[in-house]
Amino acid sequence: MTVVRDLLADALTEIGVIDPGAPMDADTSSFALRTLNRMMSAWANDDLMVYTVDRTVFNLVASTPTYTLGVGGVWATPYAVRPGQIDMASVMVNGAEVPLTIFNDEEWRDTTVKTVTGTFPTGIWCNGNYPLNTVTVWPIPTTANQVILYLWGQVGAFADVNATVTLPQGYDDAIVYNLAVRLAASYGKEPNPSTASLANAAKARVKNMNYEATYRSVDETLNGNGGANSVWLRSRGYVLG
């Protein structure tokens, strides 16, 4: 476990704003905390800084097409969820998990009959509202099945400098050195090359740890690399080879 104050102090020490072991005044710690939370918010939008994908089950209601998603939503989560943070989706049908299509805005616009009904949905569209996203299921289900969303987990905002947090392996190193680089300019400092190098290396190690390659078979007409059973390396939507 780590105390947030220690992360802030270590970052400020790294760029020479405070001496090792010296206390931080209230203004300094408050500014450093705000900067830290902005950095963590930015990292939450970077898929390779996301350390987990949460498989979360939600209940459908017969004849109900839309559901709010996020903190306090009908489909409640401990964090706000934007469209890019829904990695995959599926629906339970007779005990089997069946993948759902996640429509982008153009695909949803081109779905001409949006009020069609069916036993269970085959796709979802998310409008991206904040803090509550709205998820529309299509076709509108006539039975009360369950939808499973695979959501990006997040290291959320740190409440205060005295909070005790548990971070995935390597995140404390990445936070300290990258926070030091972020804070440097505000104090008229130039981070030394070693600090910048450590920041990049620590973040790269986290991304390498979070990277998950999966294999998908693709049709011969699409891949250009052989027969219908050719396998391409694929990770989070990106074909790599």
Q: For the chain, how far is it from start to end, CA to CA, in angstroms?
A: 39
In the prediction, which pLDDT does 208 show?
94
Planar angle of CA 184, 188, 191, nearest 5 degrees: 40
Alpha helices by DSSP H, 44-146: 105-109
Confidence of residue 164 (pLDDT cuts 50, 70, 90): very high
Say which CATH number the domain at 189 has.
1.10.3230.20
Structure tokens at 116: 């069609």
221 in the same domain as 135: no
173 in the same domain as 127: no
131 in the same domain as 13: no
- pLDDT for residue 4 is more than 80: yes
Under 8 Å CB-to-CB from 176, ≥6 apart: which residues?
A: 7, 10, 11, 14
74 in the same domain as 134: yes
31 versus 80: the higher-pLDDT residue is 31
Quote the longest CA-to-CA distance of the chain.
Answer: 66
In the prediction, which pLDDT does 6 show?
97
In the prediction, which pLDDT does 215 show?
54
Q: Which of 105, 141, 103, 102 is nearest to 121 (CA)?
A: 141
Mean pLDDT of 8-36: 96
Q: What is the signed CA dihedral for 44, 213, 178, 167, rounded to 10 degrees?
A: 70
pLDDT tens for residues 179-223? 999 999 999 998 899 999 999 999 999 999 998 876 555 555 555
In the prediction, which pLDDT does 56 show?
96
Q: Which of 100, 123, 128 is nearest to 111 (CA)?
A: 123
184 in the same domain as 128: no
Q: Give the burial class of 63: count Cβ atoms within 10 A of its Cβ; 0-12 exposed, 13-18 middle, 19 or more buried.
A: exposed
148 in the same domain as 87: yes
27 in the same domain as 56: no
Q: What are phi and psi of 72, to 5 degrees?
A: 80, 5
Q: How many domains does the chain have?
A: 3
Q: Average per-residue pLDDT in the chain? A: 89
98 in the same domain as 20: no
> What percent of the chain is predicted at pLDDT more than 90?
76
147 in the same domain as 56: yes
Range of the domain at 143: 52-152
Whether cis (ω within 30° of 0) applies to the bond prior to 168 is no
- pLDDT for residue 157 is more than 70: yes
171-184 vs 4-14: helix crossing angle, rounded to 10 = 50
pLDDT tens for residues 220-239? 555 555 444 444 444 444 33
Mean pLDDT of 73-87: 89
pTM of the model: 0.80
